[in-house]
Amino acid sequence: MSENKIISIDIASVLKNKAPNTKVPKFLVNYLRRIVHEKEVNTLLQEMGTLKNLEFIEASLKYLNISISMEGKENLPHGGLYIFAGNHPLGGLDGISTGLLLGKEYDDKIRFFSNDILMNLEPLKELFIPVNKVGAQSKKYADEMQKLYQSDNHLITYPSGMCSRKINGKITDLEWKKNFISKATEYQRDVVPVYFDGRNSNFFYNLANLRKFFKIKVNIEMLYLVDELYKQKGNHFTLKVGKPIPWQTFNKSKTQAEWAEWVREIVYKMA
């Protein structure tokens, strides 16, 4: 491996980049540093910072004593280009785990959409196509997405746009957006449904529901996703792969929103 400079993250710098005209109090910055485990993440990056992409993911999961497995491997298609669409129960760990399992099957030809804040993780930067969840979606991001759909990479997407919440006592995704249906037909990519078995802590879901109750628009619970990741130490997770859905399926007999809901139902039946 070539010698690289030490990679680290700095919450203050991330906040400044995301909100350059906002002065964040020092006590709040220090609190955020604790809940995103800045010190532990930087230790991880320093120990494994020369690794990239799938190698980094695999080493990180080992570091956290997290194991993963796949069911339905026989359903994985070959010979075309695919969009893997799945539920999003954990908000990070599910994405990188799915990327690792599928990346091994497709010779690293796997990319996935991600919150643009995760682009600050340099070892994974090449795997992510950022989606700006905080602020305006830039033309640069839109152009990168188009290039990705035109590439020979298989894509992982989470149509809900954010991780699952607890609704009426049940942990489930929010409404699936129709974009992956329109892209599947436009770029003639079959859709492969995948289900990831996992959940966050009750604290996370209670905080999300409390925010909603008080009609707070800022996604406060997102700040705790790294903390949720560290709570998963020692756990095992399973990715279930369903049968591919040909892109021609998504005809005008349903609206694209209805097709998105149809695929969502298929994914949850796999549970």
Task: Give pLDDT tens digits for 9-62.
Answer: 888 888 888 778 888 889 999 999 999 999 999 998 888 868 999 999 999 999
Q: Please state the rounded mean pLDDT for residues 172-187.
A: 97
Q: Find residue 130's DSSP bridge partners.
A: 114
Q: Can you tell me the distance from the alpha carbon of 215 to that of 241, in angstroms, rounded to the nearest whole number?
A: 37
Beta strands across the sheet bearing 236-241: 67-71, 236-241, 190-197, 82-86, 154-157, 110-115, 128-131
Average pLDDT, the chain: 91
- Is residue 118 very low, low, confident or very high in pLDDT (cuts 50, 70, 90)? low
Residue 184 has pLDDT above 50, yes or no: yes
Predicted local distance difference test score (pLDDT) of residue 217: 87
Q: What's the CATH code, domain 51-269?
A: 3.40.1130.10
**Between 95 and 15, whose confidence is greater?**
95
Return the closest-CA partner of residue 180 out of 161, 198, 165, 196. Answer: 161
Return the closest-CA partner of residue 163 out of 236, 252, 93. Answer: 93
Q: Can you tell me the distance from the alpha carbon of 96 to that of 93, in angstroms, rounded to the nearest whole number?
A: 5
Return the closest-CA partner of residue 259 out of 189, 208, 184. Answer: 184
Residue 4 has pLDDT above 80, yes or no: no
Whether pTM exceeds 0.95: no
Predicted local distance difference test score (pLDDT) of residue 81: 97
- Is residue 2 very low, low, confident or very high in pLDDT (cuts 50, 70, 90)? very low
The domain locations on the chain are 1-50, 51-269
Close Cβ partners of 223 (under 8 Å, ≥ 6 residues apart): 32, 35, 36
Q: Please state the rounded mean pLDDT for residues 240-257.
A: 98
Residue 180 has pLDDT above 60, yes or no: yes
Residue 1 has pLDDT above 90, yes or no: no
Q: Tell me which amino acid residue 236 is.
A: H
